[in-house]
């Protein structure tokens, strides 16, 4: 294609310096190819709206992969089919830019089917130019999702069949089923009349983005004489006769007049108020303190907490860790996670330690807090000889097997029920354990409760539960 045609638009480079080879004047497209025509319409529209400087093109893989040879705008070349996703990332970083996506039919309707569908459905503020030439041009004439029934390509040597390849995809019709797109039109790059219509559609689609009116797409039926193996002069007729009956021209959706205009604003980088925004400000709640260990053996406990989902097992572990951290210990908390937690048993490993913690996993435990029978049966064997076993005697109706560990039977659920909610049985156990060992200062743990239990309404009951658990140990052991 001669340079004179391009020289008119400022949005084109004067010389195509990025192009490989000595010829920096003509495009790389074949004679009679539709891409050049569409490029020209886009460039002229960018000139007209004066938005070249803020335009960013996203180029596909296909014959138009080298679109950046020609457009004097920002240019991003991307993986096959992914242009709408890349454009999403660009437009959201620079809402004040004009992001143009250019894709062929293999790129958009084949490999990139999901990317275009989802970007359209999100109503991304981008403009997509979709070149439908019913074939894979760049790779040498293989079948495209838009290849016509019966059409011979290098991968449908006997012609495309409904049975084997299915029928062509009509992209604008498909997308018009979605709520979000505001303008979807099919045009054809053929005679002067259709070219004018195409020009108007290109203009309308770009204007929509300038005005911030959502997702627009123009599908252009475009000649690929090389892929079709026909003379450029015959390709117009071919489109009229073969393609247009299957791909009817015109707007399939146009609600631009009815949508609000929200032009994109720049997004400045803000870094203030991070402490508050990220919830990492120092807490104003009273902090838990260390207590006086009642036995040296209680130092650096490796704790397992186990029960069924809904008993607040993980929360009890977090409460230990949070208080331990506040008191100045090293702590770690490791949950059983995923499906393991659903319905069945939940357990977590907690370490509270003066020295730095190696493995956060608790294999042999110094302390087991068992809140139901399966947990007792499962984890009792792992308690270290001489360790502590706290169990909820309201729910566990069997005797522990071990006689070499200290067993504290706490009717935690009953105590909790008496307070008014079964849910705080976990905090009864917390009180019991702290009272027994002295690892933390009981009063401070009670006061610090709002730092580890966030539901305000339950705070008084949970505080009472800790106190009651401690009281039970004081009175019974």
Partner 1 sequence: MAKQLLKGNDAVVKGAILAGCRAYYGYPITPASEIAEAAALYFPRVGGTFLQAESEIGAINMVYGASSAGIRSMTASSSPGISLKMEGVSYLVGAELPCVIVDIVRGGPGLGNIAPEQGDYFQIVKGGGHGNYRVPVLAPNSVQEMCDLTMLGFEIADRYRTPVFIMADGFTGQMMEPCEFPEPREDVPDKPWAVGPDASRIDNLVSSIYLDPDDLEGHVEKLRKKAEEIETNETRFEEYRLDDAEHVVIGYGIVSRILKSAVDMAREQGIKVGLLRPISLFPFPKAPIRKLAERVRDFLVVELSTGQMVEDVRLTLEGARPVRFYGRTGGNVPKDSELFEQIRKLQEEKIHA
What is the binding site for ligand TPP (CB under 6 A)?
61-64, 80, 104-107, 131, 133, 135-139, 144
CB burial of residue 401 (10 Å; 0-12, 13-18, 19+):
exposed
On whether the CB atoms of residues 29 and 35 are closer than 8 A, the answer is yes
Question: Hey, what are 346's tokens?
Answer: 């939940």
Residue number, 92 or 229, with CB nearest to ligand SF4: 229
Site string for partner 1, 247-276 (x = CB under 8 A): -------------------xxxxxx--xx-
Which option in partner 1, ligand TPP, ligand SF4, none does residue 107 bind, with CB closer than 5 to 8 A by kind? ligand TPP
Torsion sign (Cα): 215, 221, 226, 227: positive
Which option in ligand SF4, partner 1, ligand TPP, none does residue 33 bind, with CB closer than 5 to 8 A by kind? ligand SF4
φ, ψ for residue 252 (rounded to 5)? -90, -20
On whether the CB atoms of residues 199 and 164 are closer than 8 A, the answer is no
Minimum CB–partner distance for residue 96 and partner 1 (Å): 5
Q: Give one DSSP letter per residue of 362-373, joined into a string.
A: -SSEEEEEE-SH
User: Residue-wise over 412-425: b if at least 16 C-beta within 10 A, else e?
Assistant: bbbbbeebeebbbb
Which option in ligand TPP, ligand SF4, partner 1, none does residue 75 bind, with CB closer than 5 to 8 A by kind? partner 1
Choose the binding region for ligand SF4 from 120-128, 156-164, 221-229, 373-381 (rule: CB under 6 A): 221-229
* Footprint on residues 26-65 left by ligand SF4 (CB under 6 A): 29-30, 33, 35, 63
Residue number, 12 or 329, with CB nearest to ligand SF4: 12
What number of other Cβ atoms are within 10 A of residue 336's Cβ? Answer: 16
Q: Is 139 in the site for partner 1 (CB under 8 A)?
A: no
Which option in partner 1, ligand SF4, ligand TPP, none does residue 437 bind, with CB closer than 5 to 8 A by kind? none
Among 339, 403, 404, 455, binds partner 1 (CB under 8 A): 339
Q: Is 227 in the site for ligand SF4 (CB under 6 A)?
A: yes
Residue number, 36 or 317, with CB nearest to ligand TPP: 36
On whether the CB atoms of residues 231 and 224 are closer than 8 A, the answer is no
Choose the binding region for partner 1 from 54-62, 240-248, 399-407, 463-471 (rule: CB under 8 A): 54-62
Which option in ligand SF4, partner 1, ligand TPP, none does residue 174 bind, with CB closer than 5 to 8 A by kind? none
Residue number, 42 or 65, with CB nearest to partner 1: 65
Minimum CB–partner distance for residue 31 and ligand SF4 (Å): 8
User: Residue-wise over 139-159: b if at least 16 C-beta within 10 A, else e?
Assistant: eebbbbbbbbeebbbeebeee
CB burial of residue 257 (10 Å; 0-12, 13-18, 19+):
exposed
Residue number, 206 or 239, with CB nearest to partner 1: 206
SS (H, E, C) 240-305: HHHHHHHCCCEEEEECHHHCCCCCCCCCCCCCCCHHHHCCCCCCCCCCCCECCCCCHHHCCCEEEE
What number of other Cβ atoms are within 10 A of residue 37's Cβ? Answer: 21
Minimum CB–partner distance for residue 272 and partner 1 (Å): 9
Q: Is 103 helix (H, G, I), strand (E, B) or coil?
A: strand
DSSP-derived letter for residue 160 is: -
Cα–Cα distance between 460 and 233 in angstroms, integer? 86
**Residue 145: partners with Cβ closer than 8 Å, 6 or more residues away:** 105, 106, 109, 110, 113, 168, 169
φ, ψ for residue 406 (rounded to 5)? -85, 125
Minimum CB–partner distance for residue 362 and partner 1 (Å): 10
Which option in ligand TPP, ligand SF4, partner 1, none does residue 96 bind, with CB closer than 5 to 8 A by kind? partner 1
Give residues in contact with ligand SF4 (CB under 6 A).
Answer: 29-30, 33, 35, 63, 133, 137-138, 224-227
Give residues in contact with partner 1 (CB under 8 A).
Answer: 18, 20, 52-56, 58, 65-66, 68, 72-79, 82, 85-94, 96-97, 114-115, 117-118, 266-271, 274-275, 277-278, 280-283, 318, 321-322, 325, 330-335, 337-339, 357-361, 363-364
């Amino acid at each position: 294609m001669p340079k004179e045609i391009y020289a008119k638009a400022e949005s084109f480079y004067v010389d195509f310096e990025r192009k490989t080879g000595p010829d920096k004047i003509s495009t790389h497209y074949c004679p009679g190819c539709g891409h050049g025509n569409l490029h020209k319409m886009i460039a002229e529209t960018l000139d007209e709206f004066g938005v070249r400087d803020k335009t960013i093109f996203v180029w596909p893989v296909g014959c138009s992969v080298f679109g950046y040879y020609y457009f004097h705008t920002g240019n991003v070349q991307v993986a096959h089919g992914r242009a709408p996703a890349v454009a999403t990332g660009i437009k959201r970083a620079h809402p004040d830019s004009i992001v143009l996506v250019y894709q062929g039919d293999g790129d958009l309707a084949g490999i990139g089917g999901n990317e275009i569908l989802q970007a359209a459905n999100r109503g991304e503020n981008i403009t997509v130019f979709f070149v439908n030439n019913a074939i894979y041009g760049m790779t040498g004439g293989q079948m495209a999702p838009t290849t016509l029934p019966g059409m011979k390509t290098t991968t449908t040597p006997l012609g495309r069949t409904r049975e084997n390849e299915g029928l062509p995809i009509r992209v604008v019709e498909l997308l018009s089923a979605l709520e979000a797109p505001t303008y979807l039109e099919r045009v054809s790059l053929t005679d002067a009349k259709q070219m004018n219509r195409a020009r108007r559609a290109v203009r309308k689609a770009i204007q929509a983005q300038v005005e911030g009116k959502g997702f627009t797409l123009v599908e252009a039926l475009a000649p690929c004489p090389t892929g079709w193996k026909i003379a450029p002069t015959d390709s117009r007729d071919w489109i009229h006769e073969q393609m247009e009956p299957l791909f009817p021209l015109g707007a399939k959706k146009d609600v631009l007049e009815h949508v609000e205009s929200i032009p994109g604003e720049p997004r400045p980088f803000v870094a203030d108020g991070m402490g508050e925004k990220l919830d990492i400000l120092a807490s104003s709640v009273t902090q838990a303190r260390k207590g006086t260990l009642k036995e040296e053996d209680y130092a650096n406990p490796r704790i397992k907490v186990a029960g069924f989902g809904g008993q607040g097992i993980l929360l009890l572990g977090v409460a230990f860790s949070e208080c331990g951290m506040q008191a100045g210990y090293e702590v770690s908390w490791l949950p059983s996670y995923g499906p393991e937690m659903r319905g069945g048993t939940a357990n977590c490993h907690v370490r509270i330690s003066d020295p730095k913690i190696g493995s956060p996993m608790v294999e042999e435990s110094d302390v087991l807090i068992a809140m139901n029978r399966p947990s007792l049966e499962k984890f009792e064997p792992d308690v270290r000889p001489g360790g502590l076993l706290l169990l909820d005697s309201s729910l566990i109706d069997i005797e522990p097997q071990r006689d070499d560990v200290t067993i504290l039977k706490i009717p935690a659920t009953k105590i909790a029920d008496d307070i008014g909610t079964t849910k705080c049985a976990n905090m009864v156990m917390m009180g019991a354990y702290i009272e027994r060992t002295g690892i933390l200062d009981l009063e401070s743990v009670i006061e610090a409760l709002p730092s580890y239990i966030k539901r305000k309404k339950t705070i008084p009951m949970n505080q009472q539960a800790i106190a009651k658990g401690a009281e039970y140990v004081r009175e019974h052991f």
